[in-house]
Homo-oligomer: A and B are copies of this chain.
Amino acid sequence: MSTEGSRRSDDWLCEQQTEGIRYCLRVKDRLVHRRTAFQELELAETDDLGRVLTLDGKLMLSERDEPFYHEMLVHPALLTHPQPERVLVVGGGDGGTLREVLVHPSVTQAVLAEIDGEVIDACRAYMPAVHRGALDDPRVAIHVGPGETFLPDHPQAFDVILVDSTDPIGPGEALFAEGFFRSCMRALKPGGLIALQAGTPYLWPEELGSVVTRLARLLPHVHVYLGFVPLYPSGMWAYVLAGLRDPQGELTQVAGRYIERGLRTHYYTPELHRGALCLPRFVEELVAQALEQARR
């Protein structure tokens, strides 16, 4: 039931971010609430952040800040690549990552490997402002199934792989395992790149550390950068860009490519891309330790 007019609802949607931290949004309208084959899915209209999606009670995205997350997951990787043609998105059933991928004119095919088809259906129906048609773009192929079984059949197939996963609990767990990263590596074309979200180093430093260590055992170049995602615990979110190509060596090209490819962004800028690689001291130290761990 929608609450119209001056009376405000007293319906709150709360996420337990840690055992001792709770974050709550006032809800105008509950749109979807169902148990899929994989997880509990909820879609709601909030007072302040537009529509939000939760999976297993964790807030995945809000219409208000989703560009912060999607632009920072996609553009550093795609602008680091001189000519991204085939791109794989693992997870990301809402279509926001696909939307940003398709902005790059060289992309001829974008594959979405999402384990839960009901996430795609619900977001297609209730979050058109997020996918903006990307889920139905002719360049997009949707594979409903786990990323880790899709990958082995596609050796050296992708220029960029974007892992747009939930946290490493529940169905997202397999997407943080070393075996999964090895499959990603084998599915990359020469010079290919992987980008993924890696949680918040403020609350879960071990998560970021272990992702960096695992990737650095497989790939020669591993870089961490940070961005604001107000919806997520602490608002301080880490991404990892790793691959067979040195992102540092491509940095001088990024600003030119941003213009050439006609990007228009709400959050990302090429200068911010460089800035996001400058880490707070404690994160810098955490990453250095994780890289050291990989060399042992």
Contact B284 A269 (CB under 8 A): yes
Q: What per-residue 1/0 map shows which CB atoms of A271-293 lie under 8 Å from chain B?
A: 11011111111101000000000
Q: What per-residue 1/0 map shows which CB atoms of A214-229 lie under 8 Å from chain B?
A: 0000000000001010
Is A22 an interface residue, CB under 8 A from the partner?
yes
A25-B265 Cα distance, complex, nearest whole Å: 34
Chain B nearest CB, measured from A47 CB (Å): 3
Q: What per-residue 1/0 map shows which CB atoms of A38-62 lie under 8 Å from chain B?
A: 0000000011110000000000000
For A272, list chain B residues within 8 Å (CB): 278-281
Interface centre among A200, A202, A228 (most CB of B within 10 A): A228
Q: Which residue on chain B has the smallest CB distance to residue A12?
A: B22
A280 interface neighbour in B26, B46, B68, Cβ under 8 Å? B68
Q: Which residue on chain B has the smallest CB distance to residue A232?
A: B235
Is A296 an interface residue, CB under 8 A from the partner?
no
Is A65 an interface residue, CB under 8 A from the partner?
yes
For A24, list chain B residues within 8 Å (CB): 21-24
Give the top 8 A-B pairs by smallest Cβ distance, nearest first.
A235-B235, A275-B278, A20-B47, A275-B275, A230-B234, A20-B26, A20-B48, A228-B236
A250-B103 Cα distance, complex, nearest whole Å: 38
Q: How many A residues are at the interface, by size bracket?
A: 35 or more
Within 8 A of B (CB), among A147-180: none
Contact A202 B65 (CB under 8 A): yes
A68-B278 Cα distance, complex, nearest whole Å: 15
A47 interface neighbour in B19, B226, B278, Cβ under 8 Å? B19
Chain B nearest CB, measured from A295 CB (Å): 23
Is A126 an interface residue, CB under 8 A from the partner?
no
Q: Which residue on chain B has the smallest CB distance to residue A280?
A: B267
Within 8 A of B (CB), among A1-52: 8, 12, 18-26, 46-49
Q: Which residue on chain B has the smallest CB distance to residue A231?
A: B234
For A282, list chain B residues within 8 Å (CB): 266-267
A33-B46 Cα distance, complex, nearest whole Å: 32
Q: Which residue on chain B has the smallest CB distance to residue A230?
A: B234
A268 interface neighbour in B20, B274, B280, Cβ under 8 Å? B280
Contact A18 B48 (CB under 8 A): yes
Q: Which residue on chain B has the smallest CB distance to residue A202?
A: B230
Q: Which residue on chain B has the smallest CB distance to residue A279?
A: B272
Interface centre among A68, A234, A265, A275 (most CB of B within 10 A): A275
A12-B16 Cα distance, complex, nearest whole Å: 12
Chain B nearest CB, measured from A22 CB (Å): 4
Contact B271 A278 (CB under 8 A): yes
A267 interface neighbour in B23, B48, B281, Cβ under 8 Å? B281
For A280, list chain B residues within 8 Å (CB): 68, 228, 266-269, 272
